[in-house]
Structure formats: C-alpha cells, structure tokens
Amino acid sequence: MAIALIPGLGGASQAQGPAITDFYLENGLHVVVIPDHRAPVVTHMIWYKVGGADEPKGKSGIAHFLEHLMFKGTEKNPGGFSKQVAELGGQENAFTSLDYTAYFQRVAKEHLGAMMAFEADRMTGLALTDEVVNPERNVVLEERKMRVDNDPGSQLAEEIASTLFTHHPYGTPIIGWEDEIEGLTRQDAIDFHARFYTPNNASLIVAGDITAEGVRTLAEATYGQVARRAEPPPRLRPQEPPQRADRRVRLADKRVEQPIYQRHWRAPSYIRARNGEGEVLDLLSQILGGGQTSRLHRSLVVDKKVASAAGAFYGGSAVDETRFGVWGIPMPGVSFETLEAAIDEEIARIVGEGVTDDELERAKTRLVADAIYAQDNQSTLARYYGTMLSVGGKVEDLQLWPQRIAAVAAERLPEVGRLVLTNGKSVVGLLEGQA
C-alpha cells in the first residue's frame, strides 16, 4: 500500500529536534545537514530529481536500469565501490521512484568524505560497456519476472495504476514494461545519465554526527568539483484528462490465498495542493482508515465483521496528482459487493456528516507524534527531507508542517472529501483466487 509522507519537524517540537541547516554549492547542489550526535555514524544520501515519470517515451524502466548500472564502476573505480563500502563496515543501497532516484550509505563518520568522493565520481565518471550493460538488462528482466509476473498483487497494482493514470506517466511501472526494457541500450543509459545526473538536479542529505561547517568543507572538496553539465528540463508531464466514469479491474489467480478490495482516486499532492488539501487528506486518511481506532476498522472489522482488515492511505509526496485510497480484506464467505457497500457507507458518512472534534484531535496528535518519533532515526529523517526536496518542496515545508496540521478545521475534511472521493472518478481493483 502507498504510505502518506509524514514530513519533518517544526513548531513546538523544533526546540527538541535537530538544528537542520541547508545551503547550495556554486554548481547548484542543494545540501541539507541534519545533526545527530548520539552515535559516531552518518547517513549520506544523494537524491536526483528524476524518476520513472521523467523517462523518454518508449524507454520505460531506464531510470531504474541506470540505478543498477551506477554500481558497475567508473573510470577511476572500475570495480565499483560496493566492496570498499563493505570493507569500511558500511551499508549502501539505492532506490528509484516515479519522481526521484536516491543512493545512500551509512558509515562511521570518519568515512563521510570517502562516500562523497565516491558519489561525486560516479556523477560524471560512469564507465559503461556492452559487456556490463547487456547482462544487467537481463538482471532487470528477471527482477520484473520475480516481482511482477510471479506476483498477482503486483500485477493488479500495475493494472490499477495504468487505469487510474491513462495519460500521465504515473501509469507506467517504475521497473518498466517488459518489451521496452528489452530494448534499452548502453547509449540510452549514457544519455539519461548525462541529462539528469548533474549537481544542479540533485540534493545531498547528510544526517548524523556531523556539523554544517564540516559537511560544507567536505562537499566543496568533492561534489563542488563537479561542474554543471546539463540544465534539466522543467518537469512538465502530460496531465491526466478528467475522469467521467468509475473503472474496475479484476484479477483472478490460483495463487491468491487472500482476496483484497481496493479503491483509488486521483488526489492533489502536497505540491499540487492550493488550499491545504494535503494536510486535510492526511488527516482524512488517518480518521477513515489509519489503524484500529479508525472508522473503517471499527465498522467493518469490529462491528459488521465483513472484513479481517481495512484501511485508507494518502500518498502526499508527488510532483503531480497522487492517490487517495481505501482497501479491505473480506472475511470468508463475504462478497466484494457486500464489502464495497460497507466501505461506501463509511465514506458517505464521513463526507456527509463530517468528523468529531475528538477524532480530529486524535488524528492530529498521531501524525505529529509520528513526525517527532522520526527524530530517533537519522535515516528516516533524511528520507523525509530528500523526498520532499525531490518533488519540488522546500525545507521550510517540512519544518512548518505540524503547525499546518494543527490549524486544519474540522469542516475542511468533509469539504475536501466531497471533492476527491466522488463517484465516477475512481478505480476499483479486485484480487481473488481462482479454482
């Protein structure tokens, strides 16, 4: 399931949280420093503002494919640096989303400079040959087979996405379509790297036992030596036309042991919201389906016993429109139609009658508490900042988020709910077993 972004810290909690600072290098690299002196370790993350939704038409999967290839070595480090990171006792990985690609390491603080030097090197010095590229393409194809073709839940997720976003690239899977992955070439990877992997299209997030001055010195000596080599184009993706009818996708597979019902609506992301709808939708998803005190759980699981589990979600971190959704797992013998009617009843009640003051206060407390607890994990906090900056937000957006949550009035929830959770604008996904 998609998970709502619960961004950073601010307001009353700011005094207890880290003194977060940010600055820019001359080449345009945005640097964020999150001090955490409890242990002599650091989390080093470089985020590029490019993901699956930024790919050239017909080249789906190139962002994810390039992520794989980034570990294959540079002219200076032909064997890659995974082995060196491991020898230093560190951990590393990377991930690609629709809107960004990120690379990270967690190491002892004395090795931070080495991590910066490694990442700065592969920002420009990536060395690719057909002998490297072709086998890795087969690895990605096998990954798609294992994660999608052999997983009915993932197959349904692809169908829901491509049905909800018929025109916008959010309907294309991050890993890519199989036939297009097969056609990806070494030159495709080189061109994509040259176009988007430039310091003025990236954010450096460093969290841990460091100071802003120390990070600046190291960053200028490494990343600061990388010249701008492209001006990434504005992220103007084809937008989704208005939806005029509900859509349904149904997948039956003998491997499915537990059926599931999902319903998704397009919704404004935090970046696209104009009147605080992002905060409202976060609160709405919490009250409607955020845990065992939520309305869907109490009604469907506890009272009516038509579901073994139920919930709601809002994925607020996106460059363009995002999703709001509900889901439920029917009890044995309960039809999808019965479960759907019960879910629709709760949605109609919340958008028709609104929420109570107690419900709203509990939801606000829970969301802000989660943000405060994030201070205990430097990697989680670094991801919050990297995510928001990569989709077009600012450091201040995260720091002021608790105040904006606290300011949401109860009447906003049914108002925004009526705008988003409307009939004729959703996609229902049904996953069931097959005899």
Per the CB < 8 A criterion, the answer to whether 117 and 222 are in contact is yes
Is pLDDT above 80 for 365? Answer: yes
Predicted TM-score of the model (pTM): 0.94
One domain for residues 72 and 129: yes
pLDDT band at 358 (very low <50, low <70, confident <90, very high): very high
Residue 22 lies inside a defined structural domain of this protein: yes
Of the pLDDT bands very low, low, confident and very high (cuts 50, 70, 90), residue 7 is very low
Same structural domain, 282 and 161: no
The pLDDT tens digits for 268-277 are: 999 999 899 9
The residue segments making up the domain with residue 122 are 11-225
Same-domain status, 178 and 70: yes
Band of residue 435 on the pLDDT scale cut at 50, 70, 90: low
Dist. CA 47–CA 259, nearest whole Å: 37
Residues 151 and 254 in one domain: no
Domain assignment present for residue 233? The answer is no
Q: Is residue 57 part of a domain?
A: yes
396-424 pLDDT, tens digit each: 999 899 999 999 999 999 999 999 999 88
The verdict on 158 and 61 lying in the same domain is: yes
Q: Answer yes or no: do 271 and 205 share one domain.
A: no
pLDDT of 2: 30
384 and 251 together in one domain: yes
Same domain, 213 and 297: no
Tell me if 110 is assigned to some domain.
yes
**CA atoms within a 13 Å half-sphere pointing along the CA-CB vector of 68:** 20
3-state SS assignment for residue 145: helix
Tell me if 31 is assigned to some domain.
yes
**What's the CATH number where 296 sits?**
3.30.830.10
Q: What is the DSSP letter of 44?
A: E
Q: Which of 225, 260, 287 delimits the end of a domain?
A: 225
Residues 293 and 389 placed together within one structural domain of the fold: yes
| Residues in contact with 341: Cβ distance below 8 Å, sequence separation at least 6, in sequence order | none
Residue listed under structure tokens 């057909």: 130
Tokens 């201040």 correspond to 396
Catalytic (active-site) positions: 67
Poorest-pLDDT segment among 152-156, 311-315, 431-435: 431-435
Cα gap 173→65, rounded to integer Å: 13
* Last residue of one domain, picked from the residues 225, 255, 276: 225
pLDDT at 313 over 70: yes
Residues 169 and 44 in one domain: yes
Tell me if 231 is assigned to some domain.
Answer: no
- Same domain, residue pair 83 and 207: yes
Count of domains observed in the chain: 2
Q: Tell me: do 210 and 276 sit in the same domain.
A: no
Query: 398: Cβ–Cβ under 8 A, 6 or more apart, which residues?
Result: 7, 8, 9, 10, 384, 385, 388
User: Across the strands, what pairs with 263?
Assistant: 326, 428
| Residue 345 forms part of a structural domain | yes
Task: Report yes or no on 238 lying in a domain.
Answer: no
- The tens digit of pLDDT for each residue in 316-337 reads 999 999 999 999 999 999 999 9
Structure tokens at 213: 């001055």
d(CA 17, CA 125): 38
Pairing of strands 101-108, 247-252: unpaired
